Every structure is written in structure tokens, then in C-alpha cells.
Amino acid sequence: MARIDLKNAIIYLEDSNGLSLEVKIGEGNLTYTETKNRVYRLNRGILDDVVNDDEAPMDVNFQFVWIYRKSPSSASTASGGTPTIDDALKQQGAAANWVSTDADLCRPYAVDIKIVYTPDCSTGDVETIVLPDFRYETLNSDIGGSAVDCTGKCNATEPTNVRTAQ
């Protein structure tokens, strides 16, 4: 399980048309679990073969208190203003016209989650993690306290991770 301190990170919730919600985090954490299923075949009680099995989606959990949220893309303004975090995850309100990031239209709505942060041990490098096709399963929001607690799954077995020098 990977755990990331989201202090001062920026999270983008994005759809496939470039509509996005930027959320500046004050304090929080993100955890995700990469699952790689294997099939172990035994021959008379001795391991004979190991093969990859069907892939499983990542479990994702994030809790944070946000400082601000905004829609950096001009297209977001055309779609009805700045959506709330709930709107972006649920495809409602100002995000009602967002398009799922999943190419299969028969699947439920999904957003890409992009996290941009500077790791504590870094010398100024910026790390970007993308969790594609995230679908929430539980969502608890405290609008007054600017807090979000969410769990769900991504349609990937591991995140895309890019580190760039600042």
C-alpha cells in the first residue's frame, strides 16, 4: 500500500474533454493499493508454475481538508461554473455535463485524479501521480469544514507516476 502526504498538494479531477476542478489541499492523505493477481500452480505439493491472472483495479482512499477549489479551464466556466468536489465525483450540478474518462460508454461515470506535490525527501522535484478512471464508492463531505473523505477504485493496476525537476 502506498501512502502519500497531501499537505500543500494540488489535486485535479478531470474528465475526458479537458474539464477539470483544481483543489488545493491544506492537510490530508492519499492511499492506494496496487493489486497484481497471480495464479500459483502446484505439482504434487511443489510450486510448479506462476502466471499472471486477471488484473484487479486499485483501491484508492483519500481524506483531506482543502484550502480552495477552482476551474482552471475556460471550458469549465461554460459548463456552469466551478463544480464542488462532490459534483465532479458524482457528475452532477456544475459537473453534470462532464464526460466520463472511461472510453466505454456503458461503464459508470469516472474521472481522472491527478495529484501534483513535492515529496518531503525531495530537493525540489515535483511528483505527479495520475489515478485513471476513478469511480467513488463512499464519499463523506463536510462543506463547512472543507473536508472530504472518499474511497473508490481506479480502472488501472498501478498509477502513472512522473517526477520532474523544478
Query: Residues 53-112: pLDDT tens digits?
Result: 667 788 999 999 999 988 866 554 555 678 899 999 999 988 998 999 988 888 899 999
Share of the chain above pLDDT 70, in %: 89
What is Dmax (Cα atoms) for the chain?
65
pLDDT the model gives residue 121: 64
Amino acid 155: pLDDT: 83
**H or E element, residue 85:** helix 85-90
Torsion sign across C-alpha atoms 23, 25, 28, 32 = positive
- Quote the percentage of the chain above a pLDDT of 90: 41
So what's the pLDDT on residue 47?
A: 72
* Residue 55 per-residue DSSP state: -
DSSP 77: H
Q: If pLDDT is split at 50, 70 and 90, which confidence band does 32 have?
A: confident
- Rounded mean pLDDT of 118-123? 68
Question: pLDDT (tens digit, 9 = 90+) per residue, 3-24?
Answer: 888 888 999 999 998 889 999 9
Partners of residue 103 on adjacent β-strands: none
Compute φ and ψ for 75, nearest 5 degrees.
Answer: -65, -30
Q: Is the pLDDT of residue 123 over 90?
A: no
**Domain boundaries defined on the chain:** 2-34+56-164
Instruction: Assign 45 a pLDDT band (cuts: 50, 70, 90).
Output: confident
- By residue count, the chain amounts to 166
Binning pLDDT at 50, 70 and 90, where does residue 140 land? Answer: very high
Q: Give ∠ CA 60-62-65 in degrees, rounded to 5.
A: 170
E strand or H helix that includes residue 90? helix 85-90
What pLDDT is recorded for position 10? 93
Q: Is 30 exposed, middle or buried (0-12, 13-18, 19+ CB in 10 A)?
A: buried
Task: Report the distance separating Cα 19 and Cα 145, nearest Å.
Answer: 26
Band of pLDDT at residue 125, cut at 50, 70 and 90: confident
Specify the amino acid at residue 48.
Answer: D
Three cell numbers, residue 57: 483495479
Phi then psi for residue 143, to 5 deg, are -60, -45
